[in-house]
Structure 1
Amino acid sequence: MRLKSRQKIERPLSQLLQELCVPPDLATTILDTNVSESWIPAIAALEEKLIALEARSRVRASKDLSEAAEALRIAASGKIRGYFLGLLQPIRTSISTNMHVLQTSVFLKYRPLFAFLQRHAPSVTQEFQHAYIAAARLYYETGFRRYARSLGYLRARTVEKSTLIGTLPSDGSPDPPPTADRLQYASLEGPGVTLAYMADDAKNKEPPEAAFRSLLLVLLDNATAEYAFLSSFFRQEPNPPRKPSTRRVSGIIFEDPEEQSESGGDSIPISRTASFSIPGDSDAARRKANSAAKEERAYIDGLWKQIMEPALEYCQVFIKAALEPAPPLIPLLTMIRLNENVYLEAERRGCGPLETFLLGQRLAMWPLFQKDMGVQVDSLKKLAENAVGGYLSRSGIKDSAVQVIINRYASLFIACVRLSSEGDETMLFSNVLRLRQELAKLIINQSKKIKDSAQSSTYLSTTYELLLSRLSAGNVVHPRAQSEASHWRELEEEARRRIGATRR
C-alpha cells in the first residue's frame, strides 16, 4: 500500500522539483560569466523559476529555493545594470558613434534582459532609463547644433531676393530661365542630403530650399528612428504567462495540512479555473486596451520629448532664420510642400511628437505664402493700371515687358501645379486666379493702345499664343493645367475671330 502511494506521487513530485529547482549551470552562468548572448535564455529560465516559486509559495520546499533564486536575481540585475550602463559610454564620449546601429544591433538584441529588469528590478530600470535619456539627449543636441550651424553657413552663401511679378527689370533684360529641377527639393526622393563637411566647404552653394530639405530629412530619420527604438525598448510588458498545470501534487509537501485531500490525504488536484463569457466584457476589454495603449503612447511621447527637445530647438532656430526674410515665392512653396511630405511620412511612421512640430512649421509658413501672393497680385494690378495711363509706351520695353510678366506667370503657375496637393489646392489656386485676372487686364490694356482693331486683335492672339506655349512647356498633366490652357485658348480663338471679322 505504501509502495503504491509512493509510486503515485513520484512523477508529479519529480515534475514539481524540476519546476522549482535552479539548475547548477544556470547559477554558474549568472554568477561566473559576463553578460553575453548566453544570458538571454539563462535569464528567461531564471524568470520561470522566480514565477514558479512565487506561485508555489505555500510549498514547504520553495522557501529555501526562493532564497537561492532571489540571490541569483540580485546578482543578475547588478550585472545587467552594469552592462547596459557601459553601452552608453560611447554615446557620451563621441558624436561619431552610430546611435542607431548601437540601438538595433545591441540594445534591442538584449531587450529580454531589460524586460527582466522591468519586472524584477524596477529601480534599476529607472536608473538606466534616466541615464539613457541624458546620454541620448546630449548626443542629439550636439549633433543637431553642429549640423544646423553648418547649414546656416551654407544658407548664408546664397541670398535670393524676391522678385515681384509686376516689377520690370531696369535694363529691360529678361529674367533668367526658371530652374525647374529645384522643385525636386519638395520630394523625399530627391537628391541626397547635404552632409556637414559639404556645408562647411566655402565653395559649396545651394538654394535655400536645399538646406531646409537636408535639415528636415535628417530630423525625420533621426526622430522617427529614436521614437521606434523607445517604443520597442522601453515599452511596458506584463509578466510572462505561467504555464497552466493540471497535475496532482502530494499533500505532504504543503505546510497547511488542511490542504490535503480528504480521500486519504495522498493528493489534491490543481486545475484551471473555468471561464465564462459575460455580455459586455468584450467592450470593456476593448476600452481597457485602448486606454492602456493611449497611456503607453503618452509615456513614450514623454521620453521622446525629453531626448529630442534640444534638437528641435536648434531646428526651429534654423527654420526661423530661413524664413526671415521670407524666401522667393516658389522656393517658399517648395519648402511648404516638403514640410507637408515630411509630416505625412512622420505620420506613416507613427511619430506623433514630430507631427506636432511639423504642424507648427506649416502654420508658420502658409501665412508668409499668402502674404507674398497678395503682394504679387498688388504689383501686377498696379502694372496693369499704369499701362492704361501710358506707363508702357508702344516702343521698346513695352512688348518685352509683357513677355517678362508672361514668363513669370507661367513659371509660377507650373510650379503651383507641380507642388499642389489635394488638401490645399483650392486655397493655392484661388491666389493664382487673382494673378490670372490681373494678367488678363494687363494684356487687354496693352492691346487697347493699338488704334487699328485688326492689329490690336493680332496682338492679343499672338500674346495668348505665347502664354499657351509657355504653359505647355511645363509638360504638366493636371486638371488645373488643362483648365488654365482652355481658358487662354478660348481667349486666343476669340481674338482670331475678331481678326477675321475686321478683314471682311
Structure 2
Amino acid sequence: MGNERSFLEKKAFVVGSGRYHLFGFSVPGDGFAANCPAGHLDSDASLDNVARPHFRAEPPAANRNPSLPRRSSSQLSRSPYNNRPGATSRTSSTSLLASPNDSTASLPGTARPANGLGIRQASGQRSRPAVVPDPLQVLNGIIRKEQQQQKDVPQLSGAWPDELVESIDFGTMSLEEFVAKPDPPPTRTSASRDANRQTVKQFEQERDKFQELHTSIAGCDDVSKSVEIYLNDFSNELGAVSAEIETLQTRSTQLNAMLENRRNVERLLGPAVEEISISPKAVRTIAEGPMDENWVRALNEIDTRTTSIEAKAASSTGFKAIEDIRPLLINVKDKAIERIRDYLVSQIRAMRSPNINAQIIQQQRLLKFKDLFSYLSKIHPKLASEISKAYVNTMRWYYTSNFTRYLQALDKIKVYPSDQNEVLGGDPRTHRTGNILPGGRAGSAAHDPFSLGRRIDMLRSGNTQALSSYLAEEDSSYHGIEVPFRNYNIALVDNVSAEYSFLTEFFSAMTFHQISRMAVEIFEPSFALGSNLTRKLIENTTDSLGVLMCVRLNQHSAFELQRRKVPVADSYVNGINMQLWPRFQVIMDLHGESLKRVASNAGRSAVSALSIAGGDDLKNSSAPHFLTQRFGQLMHGILVLSSDAGDDEPVSNSLARLSSEFDTLLAKLSRNGTDAKRRERFLFNNYTLILTIISDTQGKLALERRQHLDEMLKNCSKR
C-alpha cells in the first residue's frame, strides 16, 4: 500500500432513523496531531500518514456522553457531504477541511464511544489491511443506498464534490459489521493523488480568504463592542434626560399654577390698575410729540384717565396709588394746556397775515383739532375765553378788511344815474335831454326805468356766485342798483354761513347764545358796510323796479340763511328791509304825484295836455295815451316781481293808489274829446292796452289788477 493514505473528514449523515458519526483519525508519528481539526492540515504532511477512519453508531440521546456537543440540523444542512438529489451546489474538498465540525478537538481526551469503538492514538504506526477502499466511495454508497431505502429522510442542502463522490457497497453487512471488517489495502491511483494535491493547493489558495474572513469577524466584534458601549452610554443619557424631563414636568406644573394664579390676580386687579395708570407713550406724546391726530388721541386718553382718577379720588374707596399719580396728572395737564395755548395762538396769528385765506386755516388746522379747545374750556375756562376773544377780534378785522376791499371793487361798477324826472308824469323832453350817459348814448335808449325787461333774469337764474373783485373792476357796462346790492349780499351770506358753521363746530363747548354773540360781533362791521351800500344805492333813485328787486334779493338772502340755519344775520336782513320798503313807497308816491300834476295841467288847457301827449290831438284821435304805455309797463314789472308776494307787503296798497291816480288822469284826458263815443273809445283803448300788457302776470296781486281793469272796461261800455 506504501505510504498512501485516504482522506476522510468527519461528517454526520442520517440513515433511516439512526445517526452515524464519522470521527476523526489518529496519526501515529508523521507530524499530525491527534484529533487534528479539519482545515488545519499541514500542506507538507504526507497523506499516507492519515489514519484509517473508524465508524461508530451514535447511542440514544439518553445514553450520550454529556460532554459531547449536540449537533443541530442546521449544522447538518451546512455540511458539504449532504449531497441530495436535486442539489445544485458543489463544493471542493477544501471546504471539508474548513468545516467547524470536521475536528474532534471538541471531544475530551477521555471520552469514548459506547460501543467501544474509538480513535486509537499511538506513538508508533499501526497495522492496516492490505486493501482499503476509498472512504468517500464507501460513504457515497451508503448515502445513495439509504436515499433509495429511506425516501422520507429530510434532504440536506449542499453538494458532494465530484472527486469525493464514490459508492460504498455494504453488501449484506450492517454498519457495525462493515466497520469491524478489516480494511482492504488501500489502492491509490494517480488520479486520487492528483485530486488530493489539488484540494490541498486550493485550500492554500483560499487561506487568505479565510484569514480575511477571520479579520472581518474580529472587526465586527470590535464594532459590536463599540456599539455596545455607545448603547450603554445612550441608555445612561436617556436616564439622565428622563430625569430632566421629570424635573421639567414638575417645573412646568409649578409654572402653570403660578400663571393661573397670576391670571386670577390680573383679572381682579387689572381693571383697577388700568383705570389709574397712564401710558408712558401718551405722556411722551403730550410733552414732545407734534400736534397731529396722535396728539389728540393721547390728549383724549389723558382726559379719560384724569376723569376716572378724579372720580375715584373723590369717592370713599380711594387708595394710595391715586395720590401717587395725581402729581403726574397735574404736570401732564399743565403741559397740555401750554401746548394747546401756543398752537391756537399761532393759528390765530397766522390769520392776520395779508392775503391769507382764513377758511383754509379753519378747516385744515383748527377743525381737525377741535377737541383741543373743548379740553381747554373744561380744564382752564379763563384761558379758553381769552383765546375766543382773540379769535373774534382777529376775524372781525379779517372780514372787515376783506369786505371793505370788495366794496371798493363794487363801487367801480357803473350804475344808471338817478333822475327825479324818471317818474310817470315826468316831462319827456327833460328825461331825454337830462339823462345822457357817458359815452354819448342816450339814457332813455340805454335804460328804461319803467320796463323790467331782462333784469328779471337776475332773480330767475340759478347762479349763486358773487362777482369777483377783479371782474367788478374790469366791468365797463352800466347796471341797475340791484347788481352791486346782490353781489355784496351774496358774498356776505356765504361768509356768514361758513363762519357760523365753524364757530358752532369748533367752539362747541360754548352755548348757543355765546356763539351767536361771537358771530354778530365778528360781522358787525361787515353788516354796517352792507347797510351803507344799500342806503347809498337807493337814497336818490326813483327806480321803483330796482328797489323792488333789491327787496326780493334780500328776501332770497333771508330764505337762504333760514335754510342753512344761520340766525345771526336776521337783524341785518331786517334792517335792509326797513330801508328798502319805505323807499319803494316813497317812489310810488312820487309816481302818483307826477300823475296828479299831469291831471291838473290837462284840465287847465288842452295845449298842456297835448304837450304831454307829444302832439297828439285828443279831439280828433282816440288812440291810447303814451302815459298808458308807461303805466302798463311799470305795473307789469311790479306784478311780475310780486307774483309770490304776501298780503302783508305794502306793494298792494301802493299800486292801488297809483292805479287810482292813473284812472283819474285818464278820466280828465277823456273829457277833452268832442264826441262821447270817441271819449268812450279812448278810455276803452287805454284800459285794453294796460290789460294786454299785464295779461301774462301771475299771482294774487295780478289777479286783483286784472279784475279792476275789467270793471273799468265795463264802465266804459255802459257810458
> Which residue of structure 2 lines up, in the alignment, with residue 325 of structure 1?
540
The one-letter code sitting in structure 1 at the alignment partner of 2:626 is: V
Residues 192-341 of structure 1 mapped to structure 2, 5 A cutoff:
192-201=465-474, 203-236=476-509, 296-341=511-556
For residues 188 and 327 of structure 1, the distance between their equivalents in structure 2, rounded to whole angstroms, comes to: 25
> Which residue of structure 1 lines up, in the alignment, with residue 88 of structure 2?
none
Q: CA deviation at 1:52?
A: 1.1
> Which residue of structure 2 lines up, in the alignment, with residue 439 of structure 1?
662
> Which residue of structure 2 lines up, in the alignment, with residue 74 of structure 1?
334
Return the match for 2:286 from 23, 27, 30: 30
The one-letter code sitting in structure 1 at the alignment partner of 2:416 is: T
> Which residue of structure 1 lines up, in the alignment, with residue 41 of structure 2?
none
Return the match for 1:449 from 672, 679, 682: 672
> Which residue of structure 1 lines up, in the alignment, with residue 632 of structure 2?
410
> Which residue of structure 1 lines up, in the alignment, with residue 570 of structure 2?
355
Q: For each residue in 1:89-113, what CA deviation from the matched residue of structure 2 results, as whole angstroms up to 9, or x when unmatched?
A: 4311123x33233323332221112
- C-alpha RMSD over aligned residues: 3.0
In structure 2, the CA distance between the partners of 1:327 and 1:445, relative to structure 1 (3 Å rule), is closer
Residues 491-502 of structure 1 mapped to structure 2, 5 A cutoff:
491-496=712-717
In structure 2, the CA distance between the partners of 1:331 and 1:51, relative to structure 1 (3 Å rule), is same
In structure 2, the CA distance between the partners of 1:87 and 1:79, relative to structure 1 (3 Å rule), is same
The one-letter code sitting in structure 2 at the alignment partner of 1:125 is: A
Q: CA deviation at 1:494?
A: 4.7
For residues 614 and 539 of structure 2, the distance between their equivalents in structure 1, rounded to whole angstroms, comes to: 40
Identify the structure with bigger relative contact order (alpha carbons < 8 Å, sequence gap 6+): 1
> Which residue of structure 1 lines up, in the alignment, with residue 195 of structure 2?
none
In structure 2, the CA distance between the partners of 1:69 and 1:188, relative to structure 1 (3 Å rule), is farther
> Which residue of structure 2 lines up, in the alignment, with residue 47 of structure 1?
303
> Which residue of structure 1 lines up, in the alignment, with residue 122 of structure 2?
none
Q: Normalization by structure 1: what TM-score?
A: 0.78
In structure 2, the CA distance between the partners of 1:187 and 1:317, relative to structure 1 (3 Å rule), is farther
Deviates most, 57-66 or 80-89: 80-89
Return the match for 2:601 from 365, 368, 386: 386
Q: CA deviation at 1:327?
A: 4.8
For residues 416 and 431 of structure 2, the distance between their equivalents in structure 1, rounded to whole angstroms, comes to: 24
Q: Normalization by structure 2: what TM-score?
A: 0.56
**1:427 maps to 2:427:** no
Q: CA deviation at 1:60?
A: 0.9
What is the SS of the residue equivalent to 2:338? helix
> Which residue of structure 1 lines up, in the alignment, with residue 268 of structure 2?
12
Q: CA deviation at 1:214?
A: 0.9
The one-letter code sitting in structure 1 at the alignment partner of 2:473 is: D
> Which residue of structure 1 lines up, in the alignment, with residue 694 of structure 2?
471
The one-letter code sitting in structure 1 at the alignment partner of 2:503 is: L
Q: CA deviation at 1:142?
A: 0.8
For residues 595 and 561 of structure 2, the distance between their equivalents in structure 1, rounded to whole angstroms, comes to: 39
Q: Is the 8 A contact 2:418 2:542 kept in 1?
A: yes
The one-letter code sitting in structure 2 at the alignment partner of 1:78 is: E
Q: CA deviation at 1:482?
A: 2.5
Q: Is the 8 A contact 2:629 2:689 kept in 1?
A: no
Return the match for 1:367 from 579, 582, 589: 582
Return the match for 2:353 from 87, 93, 105: 93
What is the SS of the residue equivalent to 1:87? helix
In structure 2, the CA distance between the partners of 1:437 and 1:234, relative to structure 1 (3 Å rule), is same
Q: CA deviation at 1:116?
A: 1.3
Q: In the comparison of the two structures, how many residue pairs are matched?
A: 434
The one-letter code sitting in structure 1 at the alignment partner of 2:278 is: V
For residues 470 and 426 of structure 1, the distance between their equivalents in structure 2, rounded to whole angstroms, comes to: 23
**1:485 maps to 2:706:** yes
What is the SS of the residue equivalent to 2:417? coil
> Which residue of structure 2 lines up, in the alignment, with residue 377 of structure 1?
592
For residues 311 and 336 of structure 1, the distance between their equivalents in structure 2, rounded to whole angstroms, comes to: 19
**1:84 maps to 2:344:** yes
Q: CA deviation at 1:355?
A: 0.8
Structure 1 stretches of 5 or more lacking a match? 238-295, 499-504
The one-letter code sitting in structure 2 at the alignment partner of 1:84 is: L
The one-letter code sitting in structure 2 at the alignment partner of 1:413 is: M
Return the match for 1:63 from 323, 327, 331: 323
Identity level (%): 24
Larger radius of gyration: 2
Compare the two structures and name the one with the higher helix fraction. Answer: 1
> Which residue of structure 1 lines up, in the alignment, with residue 388 of structure 2?
129
The one-letter code sitting in structure 2 at the alignment partner of 1:438 is: E
> Which residue of structure 1 lines up, in the alignment, with residue 212 of structure 2?
none
Q: Is the 8 A contact 1:402 1:443 kept in 2?
A: no
For residues 602 and 494 of structure 2, the distance between their equivalents in structure 1, rounded to whole angstroms, comes to: 52
Structure 2 stretches of 5 or more lacking a match? 1-257, 433-442
For residues 379 and 515 of structure 2, the distance between their equivalents in structure 1, rounded to whole angstroms, comes to: 21
Return the match for 1:396 from 600, 605, 615: 615
What is the SS of the residue equivalent to 2:697? coil
> Which residue of structure 1 lines up, in the alignment, with residue 80 of structure 2?
none
> Which residue of structure 1 lines up, in the alignment, with residue 175 of structure 2?
none
Q: CA deviation at 1:133?
A: 1.8
For residues 476 and 189 of structure 1, the distance between their equivalents in structure 2, rounded to whole angstroms, comes to: 21
